[in-house]
Structure 1
Amino acid sequence: MFFRQGVLATRLGLVAGLAALLFAGCGSDDDGRALGPDSGQVRAEVTVDGQPFPGVTVTLNDGGQFSQTTGADGTANFENLANGTYTVSISGFDTNRFLFTRTSVPVTLDDTVGQVTVQFQGATVPTGRVTGQVTFNGLTPAQLPGETITVTLVPPTGSPVTGDLTGTSGEFTFGQLGVGTFTLRVARNGQVRQTTFALAQGEQLTLDLEFSQLPDAGTLPPGTPTGQVRAEVTAAGQPVVGATVTLTNGVQLTQTTGQDGVAVFDNVPNGTFTVTLAAFDASRFSFTTTTASVTLNDQIGQATVQFQGLLASTGALSGRVTFNGQAPAQIPNETVTITLVPPVGSAVTGDLTGTTGEYQFSPLQPGTFTVRVARGTELRQTTVTLGQGEQRVLDLEFSQMQPVP
């Protein structure tokens, strides 16, 4: 068994696992093989809010300059590159709407690193806003002496934000809001009423609230703790349903995430708590951390913990490459390689020269992969889609694969 790989991944954001490439064969030594001249590849993957971002200009610069535009899959590929150090940059997007933590990164190609993937992960700039005034049968909070009045905004994700309206005109503004459905809660001496509203990208909404017309959200007995801890559990950006979330501080409280992947603990007293994630399907999901610590006090009444995971890499792809029925070992003086291009992440290349042609890629996440086989300068490919945890056997007859121009 031997392993060869000429790949480097540069990740800006969440890190996903790379597939390992294993080969079984005979008649091959373990010396390194230099990649051919002008055979390097740089792949740029651009996403916003986890989705492909088409139409972005990607520039590759090493003194000379090459530019491409990302396609519908959010990727741009530069091939047939010489060894050297390049700067990969993105531009041509609306900076008022989209935010990237970094828009350029250096990469290096050499005889051991022939392919590099750069991921630019961005987010939509939250520019929405809601403003309005809270009244009580037409009276402002300033006209209600001795009454404690607050307004709380609960976003679709992230921590609620509470403002004190006691003794004011009742006017409020919540800015830098993203897209989604929000809840506004108004509390008057423990009595809570609420309403919901939806914001589009960049929408500026005016919403006046008359307390007597809001749906009743319940009345809290005097002295009831009002803190809240919210756990949001996602994998690959999608809600994880049915996970167990435990809140511990001497006493242990447990909730199960719903269809939105959220578990909420209400009426939590001040203190420091450990939030623990458990009872999720480890064969499907992988989390880098499953515990977090949060503190509630008189200044921090709500806390949100986000557990962000990945789909577990448990798939595998294996098979044998032949050339009109012959193994690479039966074709003397021919260089044979196989490359797996995953839906996200770096391509992985291995040398099959002089072997039986058997290969295995693992572990793999679900998605559609491209498998490329090179014989000398001739390159052919095919695609394969793997489900979660699928173990696929795929034998490849070179003459039946699709030629790559």
Structure 2
Amino acid sequence: MASRPAHEASTSGARAAPASLPAQPAQIIRSESEALEIANQLSSEIAIEAQQRDRDRILPWQEVDALSQSGLWGITVPREYGGAGVSTGTLTQVVALIAEADGSVGQIPQNHYYALEVLRVGGSSAQKAFFYERVLRGERLGNALAEIGHRDFKRRTQLLRESGGWVVNGAKFYCTGAIYAHWIPTLVTAHEDEGERQYLAFVPRSAAGVIITDDWDGFGQRVTGSGSVQFDRVRVEPEWVVPFTASFEQPTTIGPFAQIIHAALDLGIGWGALQATLPFIREHARPWVDAAVESATQDPLLLAQIGNVHVRLCAAQALLARAALAVDAAQLQPDEDSVAAASIAVAQAKALSTSASLLAGSKLFELSGTGATLDGLGLDRFWRNARTHTLHDPVRWKYHAVGNYVLNGVRPPRHGAL
């Protein structure tokens, strides 16, 4: 790829300049097969410098531009609005392919797709037409959902409705993709007659009062740009504000849709770890002396362990495909039963994709030997990425949800974390 401008290197704590708007409209993807073909091609290109980006914390501006200009960021836009309206199964395959190449790059559009689902469920026809058109043009959505510094999950960022207009005021963290975004969907709280209500406010990245700080320094997912966003009385138009609380007062697929993308990311990282393990064993690993074989590829205990990793990744992939069908069914006919079934299917896939990705990242070293730990190889990025991303929400609660549903018939709660 072409050399990067100096500003693309991540300097922790630095304020980030807004992303430029697309110089030309993005490609429009018309079919599921086209989406998969493009994702396969781009994943090969993205993988080339993944190790260097991770090592040096080089923000992947060119890779993100290539992804959005390819049309992949617009594939969930419904057909009636000019998009491909791909199935959830195709979306998860696209996400997994990119995450296999680079876990960080794979995660960057996750909340873009999530915001589009919130828009699909709760937005007006005019709002959908407005934002879908911009997404198809190549504009990117980031996120400013989570807040830190408190032990509860209350959102303290406010939507203030004043006589002079509406403003957003507050601070967010874990804002994956915000650095690269043209719009930042922001979870805000408004105080109304019936109490507190939450909305998703689509805030222009270039608006006065928006400050993004590149202060994410986690040991994994290093170049997702998951840092801080400050909103200092940022003006927003009412037409940019989409209901959020209301979308969870009825059965919708927002929760399982968000979670299945996370599961796809974990699966992709796991496949990436296995694909890095195989050539290292073939070319560098030594068999254990007691195996009495000439090559590590003939070590019977090593073969059994490789088989175990592969089986678990294949099982997670199968559960993911099964869950995608359940999400599609619930999108077509959302009710208490279909959304609960989708949520449980996704929880099952998320539980197994979590353990499989962590297993693959760990076995890479156990089976390859000490030589695989050399810093210059960067093979630790797979485990670090899997361990970091799988902390997004506790997998123990996935097992709880599944058990409570199977044994007691209790539907899981409806929120963005399941």
Q: The TM-score by the shorter chain falls in which range?
A: under 0.3
In the superposition, the TM-score normalised over structure 2's length comes to: 0.23
Higher Rg: 1
Whose relative contact order is higher, 1 or 2, with alpha carbons under 8 Å and at least 6 apart?
2
Q: Hey, which of these two has a bigger chunk of strand by percent?
A: 1
In the superposition, the TM-score normalised over structure 1's length comes to: 0.23
Q: Hey, which of these two has a bigger chunk of helix by percent?
A: 2
